[in-house]
Amino acid sequence: MKVLIVDDEKPARDRLRTLLEDSGAHEIVGEAANGEQTIAMSTSLSPDIVLLDIRMPGIDGIETAHHLNALDSPPAVVFTTAYDEYAIDAFDARAIGYVLKPVRRERLERALEHASRLTGQTLNELAGDARIESRRNHVCARIHDELRLIPVAEISFFNADQKYVCVHHSNGEDLIDDSLKSLEQEFAEHFVRIHRGALVAIDSIKMLEKTPDGKTRVVLRGGTQEDDNDPNDELIVSRRHLATVRRRLKGG
């Protein structure tokens, strides 16, 4: 089994490496110190198992696991954690692989044996229940074989395009695998649904304006949609959502 070790603290990585080398049953393909590195290395090295620290700066362990899920053949994830009061119970309940620090050899081996693939649903519930405050800060787009992380702060809107959801962000557009419904739930605080197929970042809305045919549409800051081919259809606020959009814009 190919194992990737992820922890932002060097002594913690050293410890895992020592234990794995002692047992000799697994091949260590690399060490990563943060979420971005983990995603890049998982793409290039395709490990079978990722030993993943939960509390890391930037993209934390749970968000990283989320993004790993988007890979073609996602690695199994075993979380490592020193102590997250709320998380432990959630882990137990869902039989998700985890080891507690200080890591015990037997416990690590058992976890590696039982390592299983996590579903996005489980991760969502974990983040929600475990209160590790892991609302994602990025969404993950797959371009060919590579994963690209798009900071949520740079996204102006999502719209559903038949099968895929398209992310419109400051550097262009990308397709992602998430459903609009789950995105709406996850980012409810900062995004608002304007019609059945579009979710707009509240902060990026400049104003609402009337179209010549009496509909209301969203005008974005920076005016990117003037360049779009068909702006009118994309950002028309449906009658059903109009009241909510107005309320959210007023800060409600």
Partner 1 sequence: MTAAPDSNNKETQAYLPDFCAAGTVFVVVLIAELVAILLTLAAHDTPGLFLVELARNSLFILWLAILSSVVMCLFRAKLESAGKSRAFVLSFLVLELLCLILAELSYQLSLFFPDFIMIHDPHYLFILRTVAISSIVIALAMRYLYISSEWRRSIVLEAQARISALQALIRPHFLFNSMNTIASLTRTDPQQAEEAVEDLSDLMRANLGGSGDRTTLKSELEVAAIYQRIEKLRLGDRLSVRWDVADLPMRALIPSLTIQPLLENAIYHGIELLPDGGEVNVAGRRDDKFLEITISNPVAEGEKRTKGGNQMALANIRQRFELAYGSRATVEVQDSGLAYAVILRFPHDENIA
**Could you say which residues in the range 126-165 bind partner 1, by CB under 8 A?**
133, 137, 153
Q: What size, in residues, is the chain?
A: 252
Residue among 45, 82, 93, 207 that touches partner 1 (CB under 8 A) = 82
For partner 1, the binding residue among 28, 30, 34, 177 (CB under 8 A) is: 34
Minimum distance, C-beta of residue 62 to partner 1, in the bound complex (Å): 14
Contact 140, 149 (CB under 8 A): yes
Under the criterion CB under 8 A, does residue 18 sit at the interface with partner 1?
A: yes
- Residue 251's contacts (CB-CB under 8 Å, 6 or more residues apart) are none
Report, in Å, the least distance between residue 101 CB and partner 1: 4
Asked if 12 is part of the footprint of partner 1 (rule: CB under 8 A), the reply reads yes
Q: What is the DSSP string of the chain?
A: -EEEEE-SSHHHHHHHHHHHHHH--SEEEEEESSHHHHHHHHHHH--SEEEEES--SSS-HHHHHHHHTTSSSPPEEEEEES--HHHHHHHHHHT--EEESSPPHHHHHHHHHH--PPPHHHHHHHHHHHT-----SEEEEEETTEEEEEEGGGEEEEEEETTEEEEEETTEEEEESS-HHHHHHHTTTTEEEEETTEEEEGGGEEEEEE-TTS-EEEEEGGGGGGTSS-HHHHTEEPHHHHHHHHHHHTT-
For partner 1, the closer of residues 61 and 74 by Cβ is: 61
Identify residues 85-114 at the interface with partner 1 (CB under 8 A): 85, 100-103
Size of the site for partner 1 (CB under 8 A): 22
Please, what is the minimum distance in Å from the beta carbon of residue 82 to partner 1? Answer: 4
Please identify, among the stretches 10-18, 142-150, 173-181, 228-236, the one whose residues bind partner 1 according to the rule CB under 8 A. 10-18
CB closer to partner 1 out of 104 and 196: 104
What is the gyration radius of the CA atoms in the chain, in angstroms? 21
Among 31, 84, 174, 178, binds partner 1 (CB under 8 A): 84
10 binds partner 1 (CB under 8 A): yes
Stretch that binds partner 1, among 7-15, 44-52, 166-174, 212-220 (CB under 8 A): 7-15
Closer by beta carbon to partner 1, 83 or else 212? 83
Q: Which of residues 46-65 bind partner 1 (CB under 8 A)?
A: 55, 57-58
Catalog residues that contact partner 1 under the rule CB under 8 A.
Answer: 9-12, 14-15, 18, 34, 55, 57-58, 82-85, 100-103, 133, 137, 153
